[in-house]
Chains A and B, each alone.
Chain A
């Protein structure tokens, strides 16, 4: 029962969605199934949060390497959760002024907005910006013209790096139009990249169809996990 019921739910929902795409009469059934999916996606946030707390509390409790970071994660999680759910510092919405909690939780000036603006946003941006430093370091240490493939890769990278800036126009503006680096970059993206990506996309599409059928027919049950 523990495995049969999820299998049935997956199969019925999957076939309803396929049917809804081709049979107009069943379109509303598909919409209904997707609303269940969206409700489940919202519940998954609770599951994800619980999982995060459990794993990190275990790490703190066992004093495993990096337990201090786990403690920071748990504190930050609960702080954000409480601040957001209690709508601290949120003014009531003008339309529903009589209800204290009617304002938007990300309203400017609220505590949640403060955390988002002054902690989450700069930290997220910093992590992404660090990539520039690591890419530069990797460029110096790893990109070697060792063989023909590496030379092709490096030449392409050179054209794209130059072509995606004004240097492409300034340095190669005197060349015939097709050979100017900004146009060559366009050719690389629109011809070589497109051809490769289209082949990959078609391959993935066929793989998805095959795997989906296996799941819907109950042939592939790996998504249900193991028995224990």
Chain B
């Protein structure tokens, strides 16, 4: 069996090349597929949509450049959705490498929502070390750890934070995380003990461990790029103006490579098993 021999001796670099092509081709040709939001995604959307205009939302961006490809589309979608609803946004991160990713969200607000004013509509609190230790302090007294914003301006001088005592004043926590510290810690140390509403967005690897907290302790969860694409679509359904904004459809764009890459993995599993059973049969026969 020449085919089985071919697969048995296949150099793994061919597999790497196939993976590269399966990602590149849909990206280059702009292959797109329709997405319909799942009930979980709609729960996340409702948590933001049903809040009264101008509600206060804590945006905790706990991820780094390694997972940016998977998480930045949902982070951007959260920001756009909140901006459409004119919510007040408080950005912070528990990851040392996450601070510049907050800046990307700030840049997005400056670029697409020029009416949004720093200090009145949103604030960048930056990074503090300590993981869940930070959460446990900011639920009691935010200014004990965050006396200034990233530019060194005292929070007492910014209109948005002047009367802010702690994060229990927030109407919702939106957390995008790639692991520890992340959604689980916000659920355990902020939302559950103080009965605060929280929605999350995580990588595909992290998501399964967060399902036990849904829906009692975690209102909804966007799991990986698929959920990000569905969320983008669900926000576009509400605000059709976003349909003309290509940068607001990054998740949808990345579903093309995901489809081909998944199909390639399935084909490789089938091919691998074909060789396995062929060799086993040959062994039994000999």
Per the bound structure, the CA–CA distance linking A28 and B136 in Å amounts to: 11
Interface string of A112-145 (1 = CB under 8 A from B): 0100110011101101110011011101111111
Is B283 interfacial (CB 8 A cutoff)?
no
Q: Which residues of A contact B69 (CB under 8 A)?
A: 125, 128-129
A104 contacts B272, CB within 8 Å?
A: no
Q: Which residues of A contact B212 (CB under 8 A)?
A: 194, 197-198, 201
Q: Which of A38-46, A71-79, A210-218, A220-228 contacts B (4 or more CB under 8 A)?
A: A38-46
Contact of B145 among A38, A135, A201 (CB under 8 A): A38
A186: Cβ under 8 A from any B Cβ: yes
Q: In the complex, which residues 253-286 of chain B have their Cβ closer than 8 Å to any Cβ of chain A? A: 255, 258-259, 261-266, 268-269, 271-273, 276
A177 at the interface (CB under 8 A from B): no
Q: How many residues of A contact B (CB 8 A)?
A: 65
Asked whether B242 is an interface residue with its Cβ less than 8 Å from the other chain, the reply is no
Q: Is B128's beta carbon under 8 Å from chain A?
A: yes
A37 touches B133 (CB 8 A): yes
Select which of B38, B67, B130 is within 8 A of A41 by beta carbon. Answer: B130
Q: Is A50 an interface residue (CB 8 A)?
A: no
**A32 → chain B closest CB, angstroms:** 9
Nearest-CB residue, chain A, relative to B265:
A139
Per-position binary interface string of chain B over residues 30-44, scored 1 when its CB falls under 8 Å from any chain A CB and 0 otherwise: 000111101110000
One digit per residue, 1 when the CB lies within 8 angstroms of any chain B CB and 0 when it does not, for chain A 144-188 equals 111000000010011001101111010000000000001000100
How far does the Cβ of B192 sit from chain A's closest Cβ, in whole Å? 12
Taking each of B34, B133, B207, B269, which has the highest tally of chain A beta carbons within 10 Å of its own beta carbon? B269
A–B Cβ pairs within 8 angstroms, 22 of them: A27-B140, A28-B140, A34-B133, A34-B137, A38-B145, A93-B153, A106-B99, A121-B65, A125-B65, A128-B69, A132-B261, A137-B16, A139-B268, A142-B272, A145-B276, A161-B266, A167-B263, A186-B40, A193-B211, A197-B211, A198-B211, A201-B209
15 further A-B pairs in the complex, CB-CB below 8 A; given A128-B67, A133-B16, A140-B15: A34-B133, A41-B130, A42-B129, A104-B126, A106-B99, A120-B65, A136-B18, A136-B265, A139-B268, A139-B269, A140-B268, A157-B269, A164-B224, A186-B38, A186-B39
